[in-house]
Structure 1
């Protein structure tokens, strides 16, 4: 988790580079606004599913707590909210209240009233643990497949994983989609793109990144950057939202961070 506070004179307007996690954003300022590629907008505490394409974060006097969850953990924390139950969790934005009900507002109020970021982190950590313990975990097979895909940065044959766990390809496709929110193929593409995005941000050329990340060529990487982030590889490399991995997320002492 990471805490963000922006008090600059200019309104905040940042592109969101997708990350292979489900994100919960608790908003405490004057109005964090998330806008998708189709112009749909969401204010307040929000859940962003895997692979949201072309999202932007806008607002003035923004103050928020951002939590990234592995999708296998999010399945339990969000009460088993799957793509079938909440279609938007497969890649779009959903008000947290739609998933947690009135309790979402009560959690937000407790976090808002906390006297420090450290207290907010502790409160959020306790709430997540409570919900994870009481929730429905993803199945062991789906969890294993996700972990293997993440370890290989998406460069693994889905059919081989299905055979390894003793499932048919069709069964894996269905169970994975219902519990993770994406098909195995799309999830693998997201994991591959995430690795490429961080290599681009580290200053490597698009051609080199495409070759080492398993893309057919530079044009293939360009298409994925447009599909996942709504921007070119060059824009992905310079996107401020990606910088949280090297700044806010890295300065934490303990379970959270603040920036």
Structure 2
């Protein structure tokens, strides 16, 4: 796949502030004629992919599971790739796990992927049609924000303590331990662990691992050597990073650094890229 043939568009102007907090979006247009084969890199968010091209792309994993068209990819899905036969467009939406719980039917989504209708209901097909007819990416972003905001369900509100634990895990790049988080919320460790796992889909330890890996992956993508990236991301040492990378994405830190999908993240997700580079 020729990545010089990929155009990236992100929300700007009035949409930049994200009308629905916890949502990040980017539009991708592949102008090439060659095959599409994109390895998705693990990220601490639930990912929605709206396939908007004329030729359907397919999400597949090493176990042989595959879903054509628009898909939702859960937390820790394993080795998932997006394949296709030529030019196309897609809208990628990333939802924080807390927001995903309040918007989607995410039951059973952790560790796998599924069609968008399974997490958004039959309205997903109508939204997909509206996105295809939209005259610009800005219109597509606005339609998606409106749709997601309209699905916020007070009845599925995540506990304030769980939301705080996730927020601090993310802000501290996975460096917040369950003991300190429990003390901050006033809950016992056992209660926080149980409620967090039920509502987020991961244990606090798994969430911290995923957030830590994500920071390391982004540092690697900016050219930081593996040893420095491991130290800056909070790993005990480079072998610790090596084990996590192998377990999460089946490659090496240098393989992550060369991942084409991460190579355009500076354009697609500028607000998520590391602002502080280790010396």
Question: What is the TM-score normalised by the length of structure 1?
Answer: 0.89
Offset at 1:142? 0.6
- CA-based RMSD: 1.7
Does the 8 Å CA contact 1:91/1:181 hold for their aligned counterparts?
no
Q: Is the 8 A contact 1:206 1:233 kept in 2?
A: yes
Instruction: Say which of 103, 106, 113 aligns to 1:77.
Output: 103
Partner residue, 1:201: 221
Runs of 4+ in 1 over 4 A off after TM superposition: none
Query: 2:51 pairs with 18, 24, 27, which one?
Result: 27
Query: For residues 5 and 135 of structure 1, what CA distance do their matches in structure 2 show?
Result: 37
Question: Any idea what SS the aligned residue of 2:59 has?
Answer: strand
Counterparts of 1:239-250 in structure 2, within 5 Å, are: 239-250=259-270
SS at match of 1:13: strand
* Partners of 1:118 and 1:34 in 2: CA distance: 26
Unaligned runs of 5+ in 2: 1-24, 272-279
The Cα shift of 1:237 comes to: 0.5
Deviation digits for residues 177-203 of structure 1 (CA, Å, limit 9, x no counterpart): 121111110000001001111111111
- Runs (5+) with no aligned partner, structure 1: 252-259
Aligned partners of 1:42, 1:135: CA distance in 2, in Å? Answer: 30
Q: Deviations over 1:78-136 (max 9, x none)?
A: 1xx34xxx21x213202111122211111111111112111111111110111126662
Residue from 27, 30, 46 that aligns with 2:71: 46
- Does residue 214 (structure 1) correspond to residue 214 (structure 2)? The answer is no
Secondary structure of 2:28's match? strand
Picking from 221, 233, 237, the partner of 2:253 is 233
Quickly say closer, same or farther: Cα 1:183–1:5, change in 2 above 3 A: same
User: Which aligned pairs between 1:65-144 and structure 2 lie closer than 5 A?
Assistant: 65-78=91-104, 81-82=105-106, 86-87=107-108, 89-132=109-152, 136-144=156-164
Q: Give me the whole-angstrom Cα distance separating, in 2, the residues matched to 1:76 and 1:103.
A: 16
Q: Give yes or no for contact 1:77–1:135 (8 Å, CA) kept in 2.
A: no
Q: How many residues align?
A: 245
Could you tell me how far apart the structure 1 residues matched to 2:217 and 2:195 are?
28
CA distance in 2, matches of 1:134, 1:152: 28
2:28 is the alignment partner of 1:4: yes
